[in-house]
Structures are given as structure tokens and as C-alpha cells.
Structure 1
Amino acid sequence: MAFQFNFTIDKHLEDELPAFENGALNSESSGKTSVLDSQKEKLKDGKQSSKEGDSFEKPLWGCKSSEVKAFPPCDNSLAKSDEITKNLGPKEKQPCLKVAKEHDIPKDFKKMVENKVLEVIPYLQHVNLSVVKMSFLKDTCGEDIVSKSLSSHSDLITGIYEGGLKIWECTFDLLAYLADEEIQFAGKRVLDLGCGAGLLGIIALKGKAKETHFQDYNSTVIDEVTIPNVIINSTSECEDEVSEPDVKKRRNSNPTQQLLSKCRFFSGEWYEFSKFVLNSKKAFAKYDIILTSETIYNPSYYSAFHQTLASLLDESGQVFLASKAHYFGVGGGIHLFQKFIEEKNVFETRTLKIIDEGLKRILIKITFKHTH
């Protein structure tokens, strides 16, 4: 039986850690795989993949570096929804409860993204995560998740780090599906749950979602990866949309800020995040769409995950979830999660797509059961 291991590290990152120079770094065999190396392989001969090559017109999910542009500083404002929800019910015991908090969007956009190296994929840009990791090693910040990840030989450290500094393979599967099926986000309230780089939420934002919220376990990921990615893509979106007749209007308002006013950013464990938004003084309305990728790898988290969906999804809302069939080492996977869903008898699931390349990957849709 072949096992696929989840930990990858760039050569220049290895050089930053003398203690690890003489040994290979191995990980828990979770089955999570980083997408960037595989996508770069596809770029070597300039060819597109078959199915993925149909989304976003030319969705060759490859990468190239580019210089980041300077953005004008703006005032910060966060959108409020117009509905109030009920408090969470009793919580089930969870393995770890990292306190949730909301992250402010900085007023100085330029400072937030300066010196960032970008990767470019169709219709999206994101900060180069290898460069981000290397900067963390040189200047330890906050949670110190990079050095802890390296010292433990794993991208998944329960209660400390949950893999947010990588873009996992299933994220690109879900991006392609959303484009192929022309999923509509206009006027919707959307949550990118376990967002990491935030690419799924950014697609919703570009699709004119009424609100787009981003949540990740680690505050470092939100501050150093998610928010910069949203700023970069919001700015490029505004530049594309502004036409000559709009120049005068643009002088009086900042379109980047208008887009960002639709966003909110949160970190923390799922139950704590749910409790935070439902009990916040800021107005909150439940989500019409929740997007989530590679978040069900650990069965220990299923109760918190299920409770979050049940608490935050609108009665007529839908969840789009991408996952591997099985995650070696941690034991989770789509079939085990679907069995968990059936036993809870709150939601129903429908398989949307099965990808058999490499480790089997599956996309499902989750909606509330409605009894008549």
C-alpha cells in the first residue's frame, strides 16, 4: 500500500534551519498534499490539465511570481448584516478551544502588502507562502507556527497549527467546480471556513457576494496571508472595473475600500468562532453559502465542525465541501464524515464530483434536511 505524506519544505527553508540539515523531514501521513509542486509540473510543457483547464476560461492552476503594486491608504469600515441570530445551543466537548477573535483590516493597504512576492493563477493572486514561511523563521512572530511545524515534522499540530500556510489540492478542485457550474454568489452571504489563503472566499467576493467572511484556526495565517491576499485581489478587481467615465467618481470614493467593507476576518477554533459571531454586538446574518476545503481530515473535529455548520448556515443555505476520500495517519475522510452526518440527522449530503487522479478526492454539497 502506498502512503502519501503531507509535509513539504522548500530548499531555502531547510537552509534556514541548521538543526535539520542532516536529516529528511517527514510528517504524519495525513494524505494532505501541497498543490504548488504538482501544478508547477503541469506548467513545464505549457499544457493545461483537461477538466481544470475549462474553468475561469483558462484555469491553468499554475503559478508565476510578480511584483506587487503600491496601493493608496484608505480608511477602514466593516459591513454589518441586517439580521440577528439566536445564541448557540449547548456545546459538545471539543479537543481544543482556541479563543476566537476578529481581525481588523489595516488602513494602510500599501504597508500590508509591501515586499510580498506574489503567485499568479487565473483571476487570482496570492502571496508566495514559501517566502512568508522564511520570513517567519527570520523574525518569529505571534504563534511561531512555522518553527513548531518544522520541529514536530508535521503540518498538523492539534491545538497549535492546522495547515493554513499551504494551499491544499482540494481547494483547486473546488475552485474549478465553482467556475464550471457557474455557482452564483451575487447578493449572498458567504463564509470561507478554514480559509487559509482565502482563495475560495476571494472568488465569492469577485462574484459580488453581499458579504464574505474568512475564518482560519491561526491568527498568523489571517494577518499574514488571508488579509494580504484579499487586499491584492480587491485592488486588482477595482483596477479592472474602473472605466474612463468612472474616474471622477473614483476620486470621491475608494473602490478597494468598498470591496473590503464587505469582508470580515476571524481566527480561532470553530465552536469559539461560532459563539463569537453569534454573540457579537455587530449585526450578523447566517450564511447563504459556506465554502470549505480539506477541513475534515481529523474525526476529532467533526462535532465542532458539524455544530458550526448547524449554527451558522441559513435554513436554505448550502455548504460546498472538498475533501480527500481518506486521510492517512489522522483517519478522517469524506466517507467517515458522511456517516457522521447521517447519524446526526440534521443535514443531507449529495456528491457533486469525484476526482480519481492520485488520492481520490470528492466534492459534496451539504444542506439542511427539511421535513414536511
Structure 2
Amino acid sequence: MPTFRFNFFGHDDSQYQKEENEEIKWYESEEIIPNKQLKELDNIVVHAKMFTCDEVEIGHVNNSDKIFMSGDCQLNALELAEKEHSDLVAGKYEGGLKVWECTSDLIKYLVEHHGSINFNQAQVLDLGCGVGILGIYALLNGSFVTFQDYNKEIIECATMPSVLLNIEEELRANEIKKCKFYSGDWKSFNEKLDDSKVYDIIVSSETIYNEKNYDKLVSLFLKRLSKQGIIYIAAKTCYFGVGGGLRQFEAHVEKTGLLNSEVVWKSSGGVQREILKIKRIIT
């Protein structure tokens, strides 16, 4: 069973900083079609576990199971992370198999504000989706969802199966058509999408730890957020040893002069966590 060192709580993360100081060749974005996942889902169901948050229950692939080390789902990125004893290997593996705790924060927020956040028929982007908890929640509430994560293996072996697990068997072939799946770097992903493609809701959890990616992320927001669209970013206030944090990201958003950010939720204890709501400034 793979074991990792999760270093967002003040522990040394010099390996990640060392990699960040080197020039990184980021992976190009590509769209991935869920063909084999539809055929192989019966073999994956037995490896599933349940994400629970209040009344929300979402099935997802169990990231500790040996299914990831066999067959067509060999996760080379995961093996690299295990070798480096870290959940982040810059430009190689960006932590897509862990369901980060801020995901629960954002699910709770979305449930509590269900009456004012309309997912029905909305175009939703789950950015840095990992196993896809946030996007699956949107899908189950009537949205058309684009799932994006850095590693192709994560999309193929974790995101797609997790999405399919939450769709009734007789509906899978049609419902999966409401989803798109992309891997790769944010800049490349932004360039790959059709110029007209915009989203009503963008959700993302624990993706702002690397300040060097802020330009890419904000550029994507400016191009892909619909006029009345809303972005929800769930993150720790500060990522010790990595460099990023919500105050730095807020400043990056605000300096565009085109986006407005607002903290709409804060944790009450432990490691400080927040949810940031971002909208266009309409003039």
C-alpha cells in the first residue's frame, strides 16, 4: 500500500521546493474519452469507497488498492510519488489521488447554499478534480461537467471510474455524455478548449499551493468564466513549505481589475481553511 508524506501543515518540503526551482516541462493537455472505463466498471466497483459529508454520499475509487498497480491502470505518477515519499512531485504528480480536506468544506458550503447556487443545466468546471468529488456533486445536481486534472492516469484510473460509479447502470451510456475529461497543464488546457467555451460555475479544492501557476489559473478564469459565472476556491490559508496561500492568490486575482474575490467561509479551528468566491466585475 502506498504511503505518502502530506506536507501542507508546516513540515519540511524541500524536495518540492527544489523541483520548483528547476525548469519544469508541464504536460500538454488532452481530452480523454471514457470508452474502456464503461466496459471495465464491474471490475472496479469492488475497489470503491464512499466519500460522506453530511447527507452527501459519493462513491469513488479507493486510492490505496493495488488495482492502481496492475492492468491498464498503472499509475506511474503514483509510483514516482511513493518513491519520493511525497504527495507532490512538481510537474510529474500533483496529488490527484488524495481527497483533500478542503473538498469536504466546499461540499458542505454548496449544500448549505443549495437554494442560491443553481447547478441544474449549468456548465461546470471541476479544476484539479482528482477523483472528481466536486464535479460528481454538480453532475448529480443536473450539471454538464468538465473534469480536469494534471495527470492523465488520474483521469483514466480514478476520475472516470468514480464518475461512472455514481450513475445508475442503465443511464451510464447517456449520462456520461454530459461529462468531458481533460488532463494536462492549465495553460495548455485553456488553449485547447474552443474559444467560445465558458462555465457558469468553476470549483476547485487545494490547487493554489504553487504561486508559479497563478498566472495560468487567473488567465483561465478570465477566459472561461461566463459573464454571470461564479468560482469557488477551497484552500488552506497558508501552505507552509510550498509558498502559496489564499492571501497571495487573492492579491493575484484582484490586480487583474476584472475579478472580485470574497472570503465566504472560514474554519473555526485547527489548520486555517477558507472558501473564496470569485466573480467578474461588471461595469
TM bucket (normalised to shorter chain) is: 0.7 to 0.9
TM-score, with length taken from structure 2 = 0.87
Q: Give the letter aligned to residue 146 of structure 2.
A: H
Deviations 1:188-242 (A, max 9, x none): 1000000001010111111111x11100000000000000011010127xxxxxx
What corresponds to 2:202 in structure 1? 290
Residue 323 in 1 paired to residue 235 in 2?
yes
Check the 8 A contact 1:170/1:293 in 2, yes or no.
Answer: yes
Structure 1 position 126, deviation (Å): 0.8
Check the 8 A contact 1:136/1:144 in 2, yes or no.
Answer: no
In structure 2, relative to structure 1, the CA distance for the partners of 1:111 and 1:276 (3 Å cut) is same
Deviations 1:308-334 (A, max 9, x none): 111111121110110100001111111
What corresponds to 1:61 in structure 2? none
Residue 105 in 1 paired to residue 105 in 2?
no
Check the 8 A contact 1:323/1:361 in 2, yes or no.
Answer: yes
Q: What is the alpha-carbon distance in structure 2 between the residues aligned to residue 32 and residue 128 of structure 1? A: 27
In structure 2, relative to structure 1, the CA distance for the partners of 1:340 and 1:96 (3 Å cut) is farther
Q: Aligned to 1:261, what secondary structure does the other structure show?
A: helix
What corresponds to 2:20 in structure 1? none
Q: Aligned to 2:255, what secondary structure does the other structure show?
A: helix
Deviations 1:278-315 (A, max 9, x none): 26xxxx53100001010101111101111111111112
Q: Give the letter aligned to residue 347 of structure 1.
A: L
Check the 8 A contact 1:95/1:301 in 2, yes or no.
Answer: no
Residue 261 in 1 paired to residue 191 in 2?
no
What corresponds to 1:13 in structure 2? 2
Q: What is the alpha-carbon distance in structure 1 between the residues aligned to residue 69 and residue 132 of structure 2? A: 23
Residue 184 in 1 paired to residue 118 in 2?
yes
Residue 172 in 1 paired to residue 172 in 2?
no
Q: Aligned to 1:161, what secondary structure does the other structure show?
A: coil
Q: Give the letter aligned to residue 235 of structure 2.
A: S
Check the 8 A contact 1:145/1:161 in 2, yes or no.
Answer: yes
Check the 8 A contact 1:231/1:260 in 2, yes or no.
Answer: yes
Deviations 1:133-158 (A, max 9, x none): x3334569666112210222211111
What corresponds to 2:156 in structure 1? 223
In structure 2, relative to structure 1, the CA distance for the partners of 1:98 and 1:142 (3 Å cut) is farther
Question: 1:275 pairs with 179, 191, 194, which one?
Answer: 191
Question: 1:353 pairs with 248, 255, 265, which one?
Answer: 265
Structure 1 position 110, deviation (Å): 4.4
Structure 1 position 32, deviation (Å): 9.5
Q: How many residues align?
A: 265
In structure 2, relative to structure 1, the CA distance for the partners of 1:317 and 1:95 (3 Å cut) is farther
Q: Give the letter aligned to residue 100 of structure 1.
A: S
What corresponds to 2:168 in structure 1? 235
Gap runs ≥5 in structure 1: 1-11, 15-24, 34-93, 237-253
Q: Give the letter aligned to residue 86 of structure 2.
A: S
Q: What is the alpha-carbon distance in structure 1 between the residues aligned to residue 104 and residue 260 of structure 2? A: 24
Q: Give the letter aligned to residue 276 of structure 1.
A: K
In structure 2, relative to structure 1, the CA distance for the partners of 1:363 and 1:107 (3 Å cut) is same
What corresponds to 1:193 in structure 2? 127
In structure 2, relative to structure 1, the CA distance for the partners of 1:190 and 1:217 (3 Å cut) is same
Q: Give the letter aligned to residue 128 of structure 2.
A: G
TM-score, with length taken from structure 1 = 0.67
In structure 2, relative to structure 1, the CA distance for the partners of 1:96 and 1:337 (3 Å cut) is farther
In structure 2, relative to structure 1, the CA distance for the partners of 1:113 and 1:305 (3 Å cut) is farther
Structure 1 position 341, deviation (Å): 1.3
Q: Aligned to 1:156, what secondary structure does the other structure show?
A: coil
Q: Which moved more, 1:138-147 or 1:354-363?
A: 138-147
Structure 1 position 354, deviation (Å): 0.3
Q: Give the letter aligned to residue 156 of structure 2.
A: D
Check the 8 A contact 1:101/1:273 in 2, yes or no.
Answer: yes
C-alpha root-mean-square deviation of aligned residues, in Å? Answer: 2.3
Residue 338 in 1 paired to residue 250 in 2?
yes
Q: What is the alpha-carbon distance in structure 2 between the residues aligned to residue 348 and residue 177 of structure 1? A: 19
Larger Rg: 1
